[in-house]
């Protein structure tokens, strides 16, 4: 299994790229975690829930995680609205 470690900063940048107009919706990460091993380039792409789940319901998560997701979805809606209004 290949593990890609992302910082909180990178995860938040992915969230922004999800809503940013014109974004490629991905970040490139250079993996240099293991000394002596060649570095690898990994592209991590953001996908919307609709792209991933389509018509099916996503699996349940811990209640506090579900609450966090709902709060973040509210924040994303605000960002989207602000981006739309700044484009006009």
- For residue 38, what is the DSSP state? P
pLDDT bracket for residue 62 (50, 70, 90): very high
What would the pLDDT profile of 11-20 be if each residue is shown by its tens digit? 888 888 877 7
Predicted pLDDT of residue 5: 75
Strand partners, 26: 45
Higher pLDDT, 9 or 4: 9
Provide the 3-class DSSP secondary structure of residue 40: strand
Handedness of CA 50, 19, 82, 84 (dihedral sign): negative
Predicted pLDDT of residue 63: 92
Q: How far apart are CA 84 and CA 21, in angstroms?
A: 9
In this structure, what token pair is assigned to residue 35? 């000394």
CA distances from 64 to 35, 49, 53, 67, 88 (A): 37, 19, 21, 5, 37
Segments making up each domain of the chain, as ranges: 8-87
């Amino acid at each position: 299994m290949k593990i890609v470690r992302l910082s909180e900063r990178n995860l938040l940048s992915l969230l922004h790229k999800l809503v940013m107009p014109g974004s490629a919706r991905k970040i490139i990460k250079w993996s240099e975690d293991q000394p002596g091993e060649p570095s690898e380039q990994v592209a991590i792409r953001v996908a919307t829930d609709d792209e991933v789940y389509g018509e099916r319901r996503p699996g349940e998560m811990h209640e506090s995680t579900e609450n966090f997701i709902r709060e973040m979805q509210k924040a994303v809606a605000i960002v989207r609205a602000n981006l739309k209004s700044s484009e006009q």
